[in-house]
Structure 1
């Protein structure tokens, strides 16, 4: 998670206002893979991404993800891990992804509701109020 394009900045501002205040839990690096495996399996998916350390030179990046890996620091807020998992679900092994588009936001919303027990109606309303489009029927891209 780094601060790139305008859609990302809008989403990060929304997260700061709506998501972070609802979940202050931190996950130590040693527990991240187990949590990734659990969420992946609960979502009915196989072959979860591998968690590896975030390179030291990535100073402005909180975490980052591709279909195959999540790079994370020594500890990570659980909602940030769900954000990165949504990136994994909207990325292909070839490197294509939805960025912070409607597919990504839709999957992220689903993960927040199911795994962080956040209120779907309130989050959806706040996304609409912030002008952030999302696909409520989003599915991982590799499911076809």
Structure 2
């Protein structure tokens, strides 16, 4: 596992313990792009990623994302959309990603607070308890990247 993604298994365990019990809502794939576009726009960003149906052979994945694409199953929990959007926002134009690192977690927590209305103190306290490193004022990586 790369150094930047050493938090991955703890992030998944944290989600299972803290996020999943607080969000039982689901989203149908055909609604995903509208939600992606709206969230992206509300975050002041241009050129949202495109939603794609996750291949049926990817049975163990809940989603997958990079700067340009979000792959999602036919139906998925709402928090998965926010998780994958955080991946997209913490990836750059060249495909480099923060993985499940501090920038990803900072963006993800901000999305959870804003769209699932989860209390920020609860999330930050639980992140500390799980020894997860978060950049509280994280911004999308590509905003700081100059195109040549």
Instruction: With the length of structure 1 as denominator, give the TM-score of the two structures.
Output: 0.94
Calculate the aligned-residue CA RMSD, in Å.
0.9
Structure 1 residue 141 and structure 2 residue 108: aligned? no
Aligned to 1:115: 115
In structure 1, C-alpha distance between the alignment counterparts of 2:59 and 2:73, rounded to whole Å:
10
Moved over 2 A (4+): none
**Inter-partner Cα distance in structure 2 for 1:140 and 1:62:** 22
What count of residue pairs does the alignment treat as equivalent? 140
**Residue number in structure 1 paired with 2:67:** 67
Q: Where does structure 1 lack aligned partners over 5 or more consecutive residues?
A: none
How far is 1:18 from its partner?
Answer: 0.6
Shift of 1:56: 1.8
Map 1:15-54 onto structure 2 (within 5 A). 15-54=15-54
Distance in 2 of aligned mates of 1:31 and 1:93: 26
Distance 2:136 2:26 in 1: 27
Q: Could you list the runs of 5+ residues in structure 2 that have no partner in the other structure?
A: none
TM-score by length of 2: 0.92
